[in-house]
Amino acid sequence: MRIFSILAALAVTLLLAMSILARPQLVALLGGDETRTEQETTEQVSETPSVVEQDPDTLVKVQVRKLTGQQVDSAVILRGETEAARQVDVKSETSAVIVSDPLRKGAQIEEGDALCVLDPGTRQAALDEARARLSEAESRVPEGEARLAEAKARLDEAEINQNAAARLSEDGFASQTRLAATDAAVAAAKAGVSSATSGLRAARSGIEAATAAVAAAETEIARLTISAPFSGLLESDTAELGSLLQPGALCATIIQLNPIKLVGFVPETEVNRVMLGAKAGARLAAGGEQVIGNVTFLSRSADPQTRTFRVEIEVANDDLRIRDGQTAEIAISSAGVKAHLVPQSALTLNDDGTLGVRLVDENAVVSFAPVEIMRDTSRGIWVTGLPEVADVIVVGQEYVTAGVRVAPTWVEVTQ
């Protein structure tokens, strides 16, 4: 029994080897033609047409629309957020206790409104003292001017006596002693003029010092009332009554929301499409509200981390419905491009996963055209990449492939 199994295995192995190594001989033995078989296979593959020939009765029926390209304003799409036009933390510049009732957050304030009022303490007395010193310094100026005039008169008299003594001495009518005395009188008069001039300067310096002291005291008193630098809304309560404020302590936070800014970051591949003054629209994430404004700022320097450029759009916000920090989808208008408005249902994918539409030519043969989506609207999708006039299959495109002949039905469309 074992010998029979071995012989059977050898026979099967021999047959397999002959079928692989001696195939032509086996085909000839069985009455076949290997060359003819291979030739028929090659002809069958090579004669497959690029366009599938079909019976007219079996053609797939599709609906086709003739679409013409239109000039459409393109847009740079960004994700951004709203930002207050102004926001400032109003802080104290002096040290004192709050003596005013607090204002509550959310209150509407106008420029110049008092936010925090501080206790004046002895500051008024310091101002009165500075003003008194100023009056005293001012009264010394006329006295100094009179002394200077008197010193100059004495100098003139001494110089006259000196000249007279010098002439008499030359003629022998005056002694050298008298001449020396007149010289000493002139020197003393000059010293008196110098002293009077210094006194007048000191009086005037005293006026300047007293004036500075008055200004400092007045400024210190003005700091006791902390006012709103601009009109806006209180984002926080003002400092509580009785609390002590030190220099740099927070009194209140104010924001200005009208107008409001939309802030986004443009990638470097799109930055050349954005211009100052360009129209821009945005759709807010909260409620889907749409707003329109203009580009007011485009950064000249890229962010070193993201390589993007900051762009700001100013939008009117009269009713203050738009809040600071809301997420927004921003579209900035730029130069237009040719595009076609196609129904969303007409879009399909080819075998490679490329997005596009299927077209028909004058022979009703289907072809595939890749497209790029430009904008989504309620009437359809604007796409680029199609010829000027395109016959797009809008119904039945999923049941045909490129190279197949179809039976088209034309549908009117208004773009």
> DSSP assignment of 83-137, as one string?
EEEEEEEEE-SS-EEB-SPPPPTT-EE-TT-EEEEB--TTHHHHHHHHHHHHHHH
Which conformational region is residue 112 in: left (phi greater than 0), alpha (psi within -120 to 50 degrees), or beta?
Answer: left
In terms of domains, do 298 and 365 share one?
no
Neighbours of 384 (CB within 10 A): 15
Q: What is the DSSP string of 311-372?
A: EEEEE--TT--SPTT-EEEEEEE---EEEEEE-GGG-EE-TT--EEEEEE-TT-BEEEEE-E
Question: Considering Cα of 401, then 403, then 405, then 411, what sign does the dihedral take?
Answer: positive
Q: In terms of pLDDT, which residue wins out, 323 or 13?
A: 323
Q: Note the pLDDT of residue 90.
A: 94
In terms of domains, do 41 and 60 share one?
no
Find the range with the poorest average confidence among 165-174, 226-235, 320-329, 401-410.
165-174
CA dist 210 and 235 (Å) reads: 42
In terms of domains, do 264 and 306 share one?
yes
In terms of domains, do 305 and 368 share one?
no
In terms of domains, do 217 and 127 share one?
yes
In terms of domains, do 343 and 329 share one?
no
Q: What's the number of domains the chain is made of?
A: 4
CA dist 354 and 369 (Å) reads: 9
CATH no. for residue 388?
A: 2.40.420.20
Distances (CA, A) of 163 to 14, 23, 166: 157, 153, 5
Closest to 78 (Cα-Cα) out of 269, 257, 328, 317: 328
Integer Rg of the chain from CA: 50
Q: Note the pLDDT of residue 26.
A: 54
CA dist 227 and 114 (Å) reads: 4
305, 333, 361 - which closes a domain: 333
Q: Is residue 385 part of a domain?
A: yes
Q: Note the pLDDT of residue 168.
A: 65
Q: Is residue 108 part of a domain?
A: no
Domain with 360 in it: 56-73+337-411
Which element (helix H / strand E) includes 387? none
Q: What is the distance, to the nearest Å, from the Cα of residue 374 to the centroid of all Cα atoms in its chain? A: 24
In terms of domains, do 210 and 132 share one?
yes
Does 337 score more than 90 pLDDT?
no
Q: Is residue 357 part of a domain?
A: yes
8 A C-beta contact, residue 367 and residue 99: no
Distances (CA, A) of 207 to 100, 125, 219, 255: 36, 19, 18, 43
8 A C-beta contact, residue 144 and residue 203: yes
Q: Note the pLDDT of residue 21.
A: 57
Work out the angle between the directed axes of helices 123-171 and 176-222 (0-180°, nearest 10): 170
Q: pLDDT tens digit string along 194-250?
A: 877 887 788 788 888 888 989 999 999 999 999 999 999 999 999 999 999 999 999
Closest to 395 (Cα-Cα) out of 61, 59, 54: 61
Q: What is the DSSP string of 268-324?
A: TTTGGG--TT-EEEEEETTTT-EEEEEEEEE-SS--TTT-EEEEEEEE--TT--SPT
CATH no. for residue 260?
A: 2.40.30.170
Q: Is residue 240 part of a domain?
A: no
